[in-house]
Amino acid sequence: MSPPRLPRSFLLACVFLRSVLLALAQGSVTDYAPVTNIPCPNISSDPLIRVFTPQNQSLHPEEEAYISTRESTVLPDAWSDWIGNGSNIGYNMSLFQGNLPKIGIAISGGGYRAALYGAGVLSGFDARVPASKKAGTGGLLQVSSYLSALSGSIYFNDFPNITDMVNGNDELSGWILDLDLATPDGVDLFNDDNQHFYGSIVWSVMAKAALAINFFTNDSGHGAGQIWSDMPAIPSFAQHQVPMPIIMADSRPVDDNSTGALPPGPVVYEITPFEFGSWDPNLSAMMNLSFTGTHLNNGQPDNDTACVQRFDQTGFVMGTSASLFNQILDVATNTLSGFGDDGAGLLYVLKRQLQEVRTRADDVANWPNPFNGVKPDTFEDSGSRWLELVDGSTNGENVPLGQLFVKARNLDVVVGVDASANDANDWPNGSSIIASQNRMNTILNTSHQGFPPIPATEEDFISMGVRERPTFFGCNPTQNPPEFPLMIYMPNSPPLNGDNPVSNTGTFKLSYTALHTQLFLQQVLDNVNGGFLPNSNSPDPDFGKCVQCAAIDRARFRLSPVPARSNYCAQCFVRYCFDPNDPPSVDEVPGRQQVFVDPQPTGFSKIEDLFKDHKAAWIGGGVGLIVLMAGLIGFLYVLL
Ligand SMILES: *[C@@H]1O[C@H](CO)[C@@H](O)[C@H](O)[C@H]1NC(C)=O
Ligand SMILES: *[C@@H]1O[C@H](CO)[C@@H](O)[C@H](O)[C@H]1NC(C)=O
Ligand SMILES: *[C@@H]1O[C@H](CO)[C@@H](O)[C@H](O)[C@H]1NC(C)=O
Ligand SMILES: *[C@@H]1O[C@H](CO)[C@@H](O)[C@H](O)[C@H]1NC(C)=O
Ligand SMILES: *[C@@H]1O[C@H](CO)[C@@H](O)[C@H](O)[C@H]1NC(C)=O
Ligand SMILES: *[C@@H]1O[C@H](CO)[C@@H](O)[C@H](O)[C@H]1NC(C)=O
Ligand SMILES: *[C@@H]1O[C@H](CO)[C@@H](O)[C@H](O)[C@H]1NC(C)=O
Ligand SMILES: *[C@@H]1O[C@H](CO)[C@@H](O)[C@H](O)[C@H]1NC(C)=O
Ligand SMILES: *[C@@H]1O[C@H](CO)[C@@H](O)[C@H](O)[C@H]1NC(C)=O
Ligand SMILES: *[C@@H]1O[C@H](CO)[C@@H](O)[C@H](O)[C@H]1NC(C)=O
Ligand SMILES: *[C@@H]1O[C@H](CO)[C@@H](O)[C@H](O)[C@H]1NC(C)=O
Ligand SMILES: *[C@@H]1O[C@H](CO)[C@@H](O)[C@H](O)[C@H]1NC(C)=O
């Protein structure tokens, strides 16, 4: 993992703008704008929305087809490459007759920290990474059906392996995390390179730069990636090689106007490559993604020749989810302007970006409401012409688990990748998972699966050590079919070997040196490959196989009679399963260092300290916010 030397003299842009560049590369800056006045489909034969209830919810036929085709054509080999004939974990795989569990992975928000942590965990589960293959964890990614996140740039690079994505390769520039996002050429806002950088964010300067972009794949004129609903044309997607992505966003009820955290009530939306909408019982409706941007009333366009397309620009979709919009201007304008050049730089960038995408309020992503008139008795924005979408973590759910619990998706195993920064050292304390449990067990109890038992409070997450090691939740359902999926919880935690941690960086750290990036990924990889051994600082040589046990366990429940868990897996489950009646203790994870030690200090970062000092003002997204303006995972490209 030796990252290439990164060139210094270049412009840089985040993926938020990438769709623009793509459009420019194809000729016209106006391609970025949605196309309006398109003839609408015949609504009586080809409706643009579908409305259902928690009781009769169903997947979009194309989602159904994607998942089932992947299941029949790609997953059998992936399972077999990973688990073989099962003899290593005490099963005869042919027993299951190919009827294997359906798995989804949820990657949390939290700025570059979360993006890097997510990348490290995916590496740890990626069969293409030799260390992970050897440890036995590598393979889980390949057998997964869904990946939910607050962003999806990984897909628009045709799913490179993580090392290539972060560090770059011949065709892909990598994330360039050693450049400060706000002021890439150091703290002097007015030096030439910084000016160049800001200039580059303005459309007109980008045309020239755009000609030099290199993408990971050179198929199809690079049209794929420009809009979200084009994803099916990307080669890895067309071949069903990747889990299906789901991006989520919260909504702020229109006229609510709040800039802080949201309660659990407001509707949570999702964006798949096919649809935009919500499974929440009070809405339960989806819209054809290609036509988002069109105002509909009771499913009818205002005018049959005035439909909108190309609204679902990749950058806008990611920016919506990642809260470029909410809170930032309202809170930031006041907070940042008093704080010198760093603040000014960031504000400038934000304002320029917002100008290009906003249609109404400054502080949210405004989507024309396709569900106007739908479910007037329960849907809070039924009467509104617009929806106000904000960061997907604003309601406290920093790990996008809800999408993976939707009943119609019928998942057996959910992997929760949690890089929330909850305590003083920026480690998670379970608050996101607890928020998801609350929402799922109350508001969503008719539309979503149940939530497995977890430690009841954040204090329990801490005292039981459950935030410092991988844990399996819900190993032993009391019903068949099980009332909840099995959950593999992968919190960002200190290196198991007692090294100083480098992965608990602040949410507002906007630049990482190449060395830091590399050590960060390595520490996460080692933890994911190593699991934990109680009362020890050594990796667990069985962890990979224990993950295999967790992945396969629900297959037993599809057989009648339900066969016993293998002895091997039963031992794993004693170590890794959470038993509320016999909870583990933090004493079993000794010698972990909690305090971040910068592997390569690069001097005082005003902007980061500023955000630290004013953290209280940033509740809500609490998490992603500014950094996520780059679109969470992602997202920086060399242009010249
Ligand atoms: C419908 O939209 C078209 C533009 O696509 C416009 O020319 C026409 O006047 C509109 N019709 C009505 C009834 O608003
Ligand atoms: C729209 O579809 C309906 C139902 O298939 C059909 O009866 C109607 O003729 C179609 N309208 C037009 C304008 O094609
Ligand atoms: C689901 O049920 C509701 C009311 O029970 C009905 O209005 C709706 O058409 C049904 N939707 C589907 C997709 O079956
Ligand atoms: C299962 O695979 C292992 C290793 O690939 C092999 O040694 C063993 O004989 C196989 N068992 C059966 C029953 O095929
Ligand atoms: C595994 O199951 C298959 C089919 O039931 C059987 O043919 C095979 O012999 C079994 N292998 C072992 C090692 O039991
Ligand atoms: C990632 O893929 C590249 C080929 O593009 C390969 O050279 C490299 O070894 C891979 N990295 C890992 C960690 O597998
Ligand atoms: C890009 O195109 C060149 C020339 O057609 C081809 O050799 C190369 O394999 C392509 N690269 C990818 C990643 O498809
Ligand atoms: C939100 O702002 C709008 C427009 O400024 C105003 O009309 C509305 O009363 C406000 N709502 C609340 C709850 O303050
Ligand atoms: C969206 O609508 C168009 C026109 O009816 C249709 O061709 C396309 O398949 C629809 N897409 C989805 C995902 O429903
Ligand atoms: C759903 O709608 C009902 C009826 O309007 C309302 O009482 C309830 O608060 C809504 N639930 C949520 C979560 O908004
Ligand atoms: C856990 O984190 C949340 C959110 O960061 C915080 O409000 C709460 O006080 C923390 N709980 C404990 C017990 O430290
Ligand atoms: C769902 O949760 C609500 C509380 O929000 C409760 O009143 C209701 O009984 C629950 N329904 C089911 C089916 O568990």
Tell me the C-alpha distance between 352 and 319, whole Å. 14
Using one digit for the tens of pLDDT, what is the confidence trace for 150-184? 643 333 344 445 555 555 555 444 444 443 443 33
The stretch 467-479 carries a mean pLDDT of: 98
How confident is the prediction for the chain on average, in pLDDT? 75
Burial-class residue 513 by CB neighbours within 10 Å (0-12, 13-18, 19+): middle
For atom 5 of ligand 2, the residue with the nearest CA is 45
pLDDT reported for residue 537: 98
For the domain spanning 8-53+103-249+262-639, the CATH number is 3.40.1090
Size (the chain), residues: 640
Q: Which residues does residue 276 pair with via DSSP β-bridges, in sequence order?
A: 271, 287
Residue 640: pLDDT band (50, 70, 90) is very low
The CA 326 to ligand 2 mean position distance, Å, reads 42
CA–centroid distance for 66 within its chain: 20
Three-state SS at 238: helix
The helix (H) or strand (E) run that includes residue 314 is helix 314-321
- Kindly state the percentage of the chain with pLDDT values over 70: 65
Q: Is 398 in the pocket of ligand 11 (CB under 6 A)?
A: no
Question: What ligand is nearest to the CA atom of residue 215?
Answer: 7
The full 3-state SS of 237-295, as one line of letters, equals HHCCCCCEEEEEEEECCCCCCCCCCCCCCCCEEEECCCEEEECCCCCCEEEEHHHCCCC
The CA 271 to ligand 1 mean position distance, Å, reads 29
Cβ neighbour number for residue 187 with a 10 Å cutoff: 18
Residue 137: pLDDT band (50, 70, 90) is very high
Cβ neighbour number for residue 408 with a 10 Å cutoff: 16
Tokens representing 526 are 């080692």
Positive or negative CA dihedral for 47, 52, 58, 63? positive
Residue 372 has pLDDT above 60, yes or no: yes
Nearest residue to 150 (alpha-carbon basis) of 393, 436, 509, 416: 393
Residue 221 has pLDDT above 90, yes or no: no
The stretch 246-267 carries a mean pLDDT of: 82
Using one digit for the tens of pLDDT, what is the confidence trace for 339-350? 344 445 555 545
Q: What is the pTM of this model?
A: 0.81
Tell me the C-alpha distance between 166 and 151, whole Å. 15
Residue 611 has pLDDT above 90, yes or no: no
Higher pLDDT, 545 or 515: 545
The stretch 630-634 carries a mean pLDDT of: 29
Residue 9 has pLDDT above 70, yes or no: no
Tokens representing 122 are 């995916």
Tell me the C-alpha distance between 39 and 299, whole Å. 15
Q: Residue ranges of the domains in the chain?
A: 8-53+103-249+262-639
Task: Indicate the pairing of strand 103-107 with strand 413-418.
Answer: parallel
Q: Which residue has the tokens 């004693």?
A: 574
Task: Characterise 240 by phi-psi region: left (phi > 0), alpha (psi -120 to 50), beta (else).
Answer: left
The CA 171 to ligand 7 mean position distance, Å, reads 10
Tell me the C-alpha distance between 232 and 225, whole Å. 10
Whether 554 and 476 have beta carbons less than 8 Å apart is answered as no
pLDDT reported for residue 558: 96
Using one digit for the tens of pLDDT, what is the confidence trace for 266-316? 999 998 989 999 999 999 999 999 998 888 999 999 889 888 887 676 545
